[in-house]
Structure formats: C-alpha cells, structure tokens
Amino acid sequence: MNSSADDIIRTVVDTLKQRASARGETVPALDSVRHLVANDEADLAIDYLINTVNSFRLALRQDEYDRLMSAAARLDYADSVTDIDPRLLVPASDDV
C-alpha cells in the first residue's frame, strides 16, 4: 500500500465528483475508483479512473494529471495514465 499515491487518487476523484455534480451529473464509476483504492488496488484504480475520465469525457486539469502521473510512477504503473484522451486535459488555470 502506498498511502501517498492513495491520497492523490482519492483527491483527484473527489475533485472530479464535485465538478460532475456542479454540472448536474453523477458518475458512480468514481465511487468504484475510491473502493479500489480502499481495497489496496491503487494500480487498478488508476486504470479505472483513466477509463472513467475518457468514457464520461471528464476534464482533467494539468496539475491533476501531473499528480496522477506521480502516483502512478510510485506504483510502477505510469503507462496507464498516458492513455487519457489529450483533449480532456486543460490548463490548471482553466475553470472546468
């Protein structure tokens, strides 16, 4: 278990949930990502999170992407993060 990586994943998931909620959307898959982290499956959580971001077209700020990449690198799972659709990445200063 890598609590630092787990914390990063949870923080990004919570932020994405807040953004989706502000748009009137519910993305239950994000709860599944948190569940994976809670069950010591952070590497699978990253993969599932990237799939969820792509599938639900959730914008991801560059700083969030960078933190996810850092968490994934700690888990030796960085290749998964590069699968995000680049059109979903926005500058950290953008209000998404």
Q: Which domain holds residue 26?
A: 3-84
* Residue 33 located in a structural domain: yes
Position 89 in a domain? no
What pLDDT score was predicted for residue 2? 64
Q: What confidence score (pLDDT) does residue 40 get?
A: 93
Mean residue pLDDT across the chain: 92
Cβ contact 47:77 at 8 Å: yes
When mean pLDDT is compared over 1-10, 59-68, 77-86, the highest value belongs to: 59-68
Task: Write down the residue that tokens 């599938």 correspond to.
Answer: 55
Q: What is the pLDDT of residue 57?
A: 94
pLDDT of residue 80: 85
The reply to whether 71 falls in a domain is yes
SS3 42: helix
User: Measured on CA atoms in the order 65, 85, 37, 20, is the torsion positive or negative?
Assistant: positive
Domain count, the chain: 1
- For the segment 56-83, the average pLDDT, to the nearest whole number, is 92
Cite the DSSP H helix spans in the chain: 3-22, 28-38, 42-56, 62-74, 78-81
pTM: 0.89
